[in-house]
Amino acid sequence: MLDFDTLAMPVGLVVVVVVLGWFAWGTTSNVRAGDRVLKWLRDGLPLLGEKATMHWMGSSVLQLKIAKARNPYRNTETLFVFEPRDVIFLWLWSRLRGRRDLMIFRGTTSATPKFEMEIYDQKGWTTHQTERDVKKQNWAALALPEYPALQAYHTGNVDSRTAKQLVDLATRAGAKLVRVSIHRSVPNVEVHWLLPNPQTHSAHDLFTHIREIGEQAMRG
């Protein structure tokens, strides 16, 4: 017969070793991913402004802020949200919910947009509440037949052509688009992508299109 009291100590030690080992591996993996992102950004982030401040928020979020950005933005924030690889149970649960490494851009434009719009992938882990929110506010739906995976809603004087132009800009650099958000309140522009592969995607191209998205948001 098994003696559970005798087994408790070695089993407990194994669990502790596994959890601590996974934590070390997960933290190191995210830090290395952040280092790759920072090298990649050198070719693109300066298009928004000369000086950026960097801050790690825990081991899963890398934040870069530009307080004085170039036109069409006044200030910007770029977040790289990594999977919570350092906590094994949280990582497994989040992956089951569809969470993947993500790049989020937020910007305050030089002039307030005259319309508001949400374009999003319903399968994105950051967009689960978006459809509920826009319907609660009675926003009108827009058709995007060229992008069947995306839903679009708006308020204000704007049409499907503007929505398509925004999606075209957001996808032109190749990164998989999850959300484009235009609001009169700050941040005026918010865009989510699955984390681009630094080896295959150009940061210069992506941030060029980020600037063009800001210009489109102000033009309407």
The tally of domains found in the chain comes to 1
In three-state form (DSSP H/G/I as H, E/B as E, the rest C), the secondary structure along 115-146 is CEEEEEECCCCCCCCHHHHHHHCCCEEECCCC
Q: What is the pLDDT of residues 165-175, one digit of tens each?
A: 999 999 987 88
| Lowest-pLDDT choice from 49-53, 102-106, 126-130, 145-149 | 126-130
The CA–CA distances, whole Å, from 199 to 33, 47, 76, 99, 104 equal 12, 20, 24, 22, 19
**Residues 192, 198, 203, CA angle at the centre, nearest 5°?**
65
* Predicted pLDDT of residue 190: 98
Q: How far apart are CA 180 and CA 3, in angstroms?
A: 58
Mean pLDDT over 129-141 rounds to 91
What pTM was computed for the model?
A: 0.87
Query: And the tokens for 13?
Result: 């030690």
Q: How far apart are CA 202 and CA 76, in angstroms?
A: 19
**Structural domain boundaries enclosing 117:** 4-219
Residue 217 has pLDDT above 70, yes or no: yes
**First vs last C-alpha separation in the chain:** 75
Query: And the tokens for 18?
Result: 């596994």
Question: What is the overall mean pLDDT for the chain?
Answer: 88
Q: What is the pLDDT of residues 148-157, one digit of tens each?
A: 999 999 998 8
